[in-house]
Chain A
Amino acid sequence: MALKIVKGSIDRMFDKNLQDLVRGIRNHKEDEAKYISTCIDEIKQELKQDNIAVKANAVCKLTYLQMLGYDVSWAAFNIVEVMSSSKFTYKRIGYLAASQCFHESTDVIMLTTNQIRKDLSSPNQYDTGVALTGLSCFVTPDLARDLANDIMTLMSHTKPYIRKKAVLIMYKVFLKYPESLRPAFPRLKEKLEDPDPGVQSAAVNVICELARRNPKNYLSLAPLFFKLMTSSTNNWVLIKIIKLFGALTPLEPRLVYSCVHVVKYLGLLAMSKILKTHPKSVQSHKDLILQCLDDKDESIRLRALDLLYGMVSKKNLMEIVKKLMLHVDKAEGTTYRDELLTKIIDICSQSNYQYITNFEWYISILVELTRLEGTRHGHLIASQMLDVAIRVKAIRAFAVAQMATLLDNAHLLTGNMQRNGICEVLYAAAWICGEFSEHLENPMQTLEAMLRPKVATLPGHIQAVYVQNAAKLFATVLKSQEGNTDSTAAQETSQLMIDRLPLFVQSANLEVQERASCILQLVKYIQKLQQKDVEIAEEVNALFAGELNPVAPKAQKKVPVPEGLDLDAWINEPPSESESEDEQPKAIFAKEEPKHSRPRHTEVDEKELARRREARKQEQANNPFYIKASPSSQKAVYYKSHKHKIFPPCVLSFFTGLPMSDQYVKLEEERRQKERAEKKKKEKKKRKEKRSGRGKKHDSGPESEEDITPAHQVDIVTEEMPEVNSLDILYFKKSSKHKKKKQKKEKEEKEKKKKKKHHHHHHHSDGGGEESVQNGTVEEEEPLPVSVYQSSARHSVYDIQGNLQDGSQVVVSVIFENKGDSFLKSMEFNVLDSLNSKLQRPDGSGPHDGLTVPFQLPPGVSNEARFVFTVQSIIMPQKLKGTLTFIVKDSSTHEKLDFKLHFTCTSYLITTPCYSDAFAKLLESGDLKGSSVRLEGVNMPFHHLLARICFHHHFSVVERIDSCASMYSRSIQGHHVCLLVKTSGQTVSIDAKCDEPTLLGNVLDEIKQTFSQC
């Protein structure tokens, strides 16, 4: 307050300050000139006063008027007066006025020399700064001559703020007084390496401008600038330097090279930025970028590599990788080679091997990469080999053959066993040969290779895999030999094991020791039985039975929680409260494993699960998915024993019997050509057919990305599926396995038409009504037997899921199952839109058009299709009527099936974990409205009840205390739904809160219905 009063009184002291003047001018639009002339008169009066504050104010106003175009040169002397004020406020105004109003012919400038010199040497850096700034505008040759020395001194000022200004102003001084350049230049050059980036860039600026005027004299600075260019991160400076080089190049052609270099670097950098948003436009410059790989400069090569990653497509992957492989061979220096290696693998494996069309080729690339000595990335190659071998079933035979060769040649691979990172691939090789030993051509030979004494020099974890997989191989060998009449071979094999295994029993590595001694005893026992002529192979093989299927980390979520399994119940009492809370969201996984000692309800998928689990346990140690689940442990295994060392330049050792990856490029080309040719043939046929109808021709055009069909398919990768679907995984698997067979069968049985009435089957046995609350259950109306040819009864299960990304979308996954005996095709799915919910149809189709189901259904086969609906309001449940039309192939009749889709409110909820403190805050906020419901006669344990709510209604348990639990869920549009569930006897009360009462009411109704059915 006090300050304001003081300020006010100061203001009043002046007749009119700048603001008043500006306001006044704006208010006198009509008679501006008149108003201003009175103002100028006032200013003249003010300037006559002694008070420097009044004078400064007047000068300030004059500066403004000067801008408006009024002549103020008469006040030049007053400006100098204000400049000379000892107070910074006035000095600042004075210098500003001077810099705006003075020019070379202003005679008072002569008077300022001493004042400026005084200011330049002021202890206050801002005084100096203001003087320098002003000087930069009105420096005259005289001033330049007189002050050059002072400014030069300032170039070494302690404050970078001053140094920077001084350096810049030197340019003006040089222009006005060229003689100063010679003595100042060394210091200026010094400033190029100033620790302060501002000063540095100022110096670059000045030299750049000077060089433009006379490039010859600055050639000697080129190396210095080159250094700056490679080290500077300031784009402004980089641009200046490039410009400078531009000025210098006419004199020194060598510079063109470095200039091109920088531009190249910047270009690549820019491209990688563009690539993120416009991949297509960068892809067209592939050849150019590949050329950059040949560049001498490593940093350019690395940038180009980065770009390549984003550029590959199915079409050019092989070509690009081939090129990279050439570089790997040529590359000097392990760092760059390793970088290349990782990039090759990154490029190939990106987006789940999306761009690989031929996995044989990829395996051979990987094998070729193992020849790199001294690479640190053995484990990377190894994990790729494992991944591909497991997930691409078709490739296993080939992979196994390759791996066997690798094992055979292990001695070539590992010059210096312990320290060589590449020996990690043996880990993969041993495991693949063991696990898929049925594909081995000569398992005996591989077994011998794996039991060589030299293996004992390998790192422990690899030995462990060797031992375990030797056992698997042993089982396979036994099986093949037992069929023979001569049993000696089998016994010899056992003897081989017994002879070699003790070596591992002595191992210092605990794991190796343990496995070896275990297997040794087993083999000894087998030998005993063999001597009694007992057929043992089957049993030995059973040890390793069970196929390993790839399972995505998220797959567990897709399996419905079996009845009676309470995922949230404690097995042991929690050690402490806080810990249990932290673990809440992960509880589903963490507690799954120990559960199966409990009585299980009979469900197929549970058995399946148990079987898989059993298999997993057996393979646990070397199961890659076991490792995968916890990447940290994987690292622990891989990194344990090798130290990063620099190795001598690559020595290539040649294997026999390994195909070169190059040949695949050719093969692939041939394959594609064939495909294309076939396609063309087909198209021709089509065209011929069409021609009769239409005369129009259309060319197939160049090969597009979609045209390239992969030679091998990666096994189903459930990881990538966007939504969690509780049921589809089981159906999905089944269908993909049996589809082909069924189709064949269908052909054979084509003739045998059967007219059979099928009743509509409900998936859940409890279903009788046309309606069900549960998400993911049947609800398709029985078709009326209208047609004579009774429609093959069809059966569908659907699941409605909200789309997390979009609050107005739900995805309905429908599983179509053909229960009849006829082939169904041309299925069209259509739903009568309501105001609120609409089926998303592709652009250009009408609001009543049906969607084509993208597959056909042979009898007994099921498949899943997804349909997206947009929903406006989610607070009410809804039923949509729909029809499915299809053609029965045998009779070529159109059939129709009516169904109803029930969009429950539950289906708009998304299971969202919520911590108890956040939950408490939510309840406290008071934004939520309450409601409650009471369930009578619920005869199930509390944890079952909770599990049921979680499973069917997408809730998660926040906290559970005895017979009381809080639960949470969120709608796709962000509504919070909180439940407090209490139980006493057979009565369950649910108190609920939600920010949308209608939604809450409906959800509660649905919960009630769930429990009324049990």
Chain B
Amino acid sequence: MQFMLLFSRQGKLRLQKWYVPLSDKEKKKITRELVQTVLARKPKMCSFLEWRDLKIVYKRYASLYFCCAIEDQDNELITLEIIHRYVELLDKYFGSVCELDIIFNFEKAYFILDEFLLGGEAQETSKKNVLKAIEQADLLQEVSHVG
């Protein structure tokens, strides 16, 4: 996976994760372009589109779009599955997650993503393990915070 973007229906970016090193300028350009393309698509249209030499896989959950860019040979369906798994993880962690959770705790959303994906590849497929790791790290943070 090249990168993952979360943005709202209004086109506001909520989360971005880049697994390829790009300059800020490029990132911004890509983001703008993609957000426009994806938002312009009708709800009945399919979740995949080809964009430049990449494939874009996106899915809308409530008001949030989850959008991933994968390479030509990657599997779209498993990418959808990854998106869904990530949403499930957020949901488990925040308890029926909503957009505001992600806005206000965006660093947590990143931490969860980092436990789930690493370098653009799924590192842990077990939801339980991901959440356990996050919980432990949170605990550690709490301890070091108070101490």
One of A88, A104, A169, A172 near B144 (C-beta < 8 A): A88
Question: Min CB distance, B27 to chain A, in Å?
Answer: 9
One of A89, A129, A212 near B141 (C-beta < 8 A): A89
**CB pair A103 B140 closer than 8 Å:** no
With a CB–CB cut-off of 8 A, which chain B residues contact A198?
123-126, 129
- In the docked arrangement, what's the CA distance between A138 and B20, Å? 8
**CB pair A67 B13 closer than 8 Å:** yes
Chain A CB within 8 A of B86 CB: no
Chain B CB within 10 Å, residue with most, of A67, A136, A236: A67
Interface readout for B118-137 with A: 1 if CB under 8 Å, 0 if not?
A: 11011111100100010011
Give the number of residues in B that approach A within 8 Å (Cβ atoms): 41
**CB pair A92 B125 closer than 8 Å:** no
With a CB–CB cut-off of 8 A, which chain A residues contact B121?
168, 171, 202, 205-206, 209
Of the listed stretches B43-51, B58-66, B88-96, B102-110, chain A binds B102-110
Chain A CB within 8 A of B39 CB: no
**CB pair A236 B141 closer than 8 Å:** no
Chain A CB within 8 A of B78 CB: yes
**CB pair A89 B145 closer than 8 Å:** yes
Chain B CB within 8 A of A744 CB: no
With a CB–CB cut-off of 8 A, which chain B residues contact A60?
107
Chain B CB within 8 A of A948 CB: no
Question: Min CB distance, A62 to chain B, in Å?
Answer: 12
- In the docked arrangement, what's the CA distance between A409 and B16, Å? 80
Task: List CB contacts (< 8 Å) of A1-47 with chain B.
Answer: 3, 6, 10, 18-19, 22
One of B16, B110, B118 near A168 (C-beta < 8 A): B118
**CB pair B28 A69 closer than 8 Å:** yes
Number of A-B residue pairs having CB atoms within 8 Å of each other in the complex: 116
Interface readout for B68-110 with A: 1 if CB under 8 Å, 0 if not?
A: 0000010100100100000000000000000000011011001
Given A164-B124, A201-B122, A206-B121: A71 and B24 interface contact (C-beta under 8 Å): yes
With a CB–CB cut-off of 8 A, which chain B residues contact A209?
121
Which label, helix, strand, loop or mixed, suits the secondary structure of the A interface? helix
Given A92-B137, A198-B125, A236-B125: A171 and B146 interface contact (C-beta under 8 Å): no
Give the number of residues in A that approach B within 8 Å (Cβ atoms): 57
**CB pair A73 B106 closer than 8 Å:** no
**CB pair B133 A104 closer than 8 Å:** no
Given A22-B104, A67-B13, A105-B23: A96 and B119 interface contact (C-beta under 8 Å): no
Task: List CB contacts (< 8 Å) of A890-939 with chain B.
Answer: none
**CB pair A103 B22 closer than 8 Å:** yes
Chain B CB within 8 A of A93 CB: yes
**CB pair A202 B123 closer than 8 Å:** yes
**CB pair B146 A64 closer than 8 Å:** no
Question: Min CB distance, A608 to chain B, in Å?
Answer: 62
- In the docked arrangement, what's the CA distance between A169 and B23, Å? 21
Question: Min CB distance, A415 to chain B, in Å?
Answer: 53
- In the docked arrangement, what's the CA distance between A19 and B102, Å? 11
Chain B CB within 8 A of A63 CB: yes
Task: List CB contacts (< 8 Å) of B11-30 with chain A.
Answer: 13-19, 21-24, 28
Chain B CB within 8 A of A461 CB: no
With a CB–CB cut-off of 8 A, which chain B residues contact A216?
none
**CB pair A89 B118 closer than 8 Å:** no
**CB pair A100 B118 closer than 8 Å:** no
With a CB–CB cut-off of 8 A, which chain A residues contact B103?
22
**CB pair A132 B22 closer than 8 Å:** no
- In the docked arrangement, what's the CA distance between A92 and B22, Å? 22
Task: List CB contacts (< 8 Å) of A453-492 with chain B.
Answer: none
- In the docked arrangement, what's the CA distance between A6 and B146, Å? 8
Given A96-B111, A105-B23: A137 and B18 interface contact (C-beta under 8 Å): yes
- In the docked arrangement, what's the CA distance between A96 and B18, Å? 12
Task: List CB contacts (< 8 Å) of A223-274 with chain B.
Answer: 234, 236-237, 239, 243
Chain B CB within 8 A of A371 CB: no
With a CB–CB cut-off of 8 A, which chain A residues contact B16?
67, 100
Given A67-B13, A234-B125: A133 and B104 interface contact (C-beta under 8 Å): no
Chain B CB within 8 A of A1014 CB: no
- In the docked arrangement, what's the CA distance between A243 and B107, Å? 34
Given A19-B104, A136-B19, A169-B118: A92 and B28 interface contact (C-beta under 8 Å): no
With a CB–CB cut-off of 8 A, which chain A residues contact B144?
87-89
**CB pair B75 A171 closer than 8 Å:** no
| Chain A: CB-nearest residue to B142 | A89
With a CB–CB cut-off of 8 A, which chain B residues contact A93?
107
With a CB–CB cut-off of 8 A, which chain B residues contact A49?
none
**CB pair A126 B140 closer than 8 Å:** yes
**CB pair A92 B111 closer than 8 Å:** yes
Chain B CB within 8 A of A165 CB: yes
With a CB–CB cut-off of 8 A, which chain B residues contact A10?
145
With a CB–CB cut-off of 8 A, which chain B residues contact A105?
23
Chain B CB within 8 A of A124 CB: yes
Question: Min CB distance, B84 to chain A, in Å?
Answer: 12
With a CB–CB cut-off of 8 A, which chain B residues contact A212?
73
Chain B CB within 8 A of A110 CB: no
| Chain B: CB-nearest residue to A70 | B24
**CB pair B23 A165 closer than 8 Å:** no
Interface readout for A76-90 with B: 1 if CB under 8 Å, 0 if not?
A: 000000000001110
With a CB–CB cut-off of 8 A, which chain B residues contact A171?
119, 121
**CB pair B140 A169 closer than 8 Å:** no
Chain B CB within 8 A of A161 CB: yes
- In the docked arrangement, what's the CA distance between A243 and B14, Å? 32
With a CB–CB cut-off of 8 A, which chain B residues contact A788?
none
Question: Min CB distance, B12 to chain A, in Å?
Answer: 8
- In the docked arrangement, what's the CA distance between A140 and B73, Å? 25
- In the docked arrangement, what's the CA distance between A68 and B119, Å? 23
Apart from A10-B145, A169-B119, list 12 A-B contacts with CB within 8 A. A18-B106, A60-B107, A63-B107, A69-B13, A88-B144, A92-B107, A92-B137, A103-B24, A133-B115, A164-B124, A236-B122, A236-B125
- Could you list which residues of chain A lie within 8 angstroms of chain B, going by C-beta atoms? 3, 6, 10, 18-19, 22, 60, 63-64, 66-69, 71, 73, 87-89, 92-93, 96, 99-101, 103-105, 124, 126, 129-130, 132-133, 136-138, 140, 161, 164-165, 168-169, 171-172, 197-198, 201-202, 205-206, 209, 212, 234, 236-237, 239, 243
- Could you list 22 A-B pairs, sorted by A, with CB under 8 Å? A10-B145, A18-B107, A22-B103, A69-B13, A87-B144, A89-B144, A92-B137, A96-B111, A100-B16, A126-B140, A129-B137, A132-B118, A133-B118, A137-B19, A164-B124, A165-B123, A168-B118, A198-B125, A198-B126, A205-B121, A212-B73, A243-B75
Report the 8 A-B pairs with minimum CB-CB distance, sorted nearest first: A136-B119, A133-B114, A87-B144, A103-B21, A89-B141, A168-B118, A104-B21, A172-B119
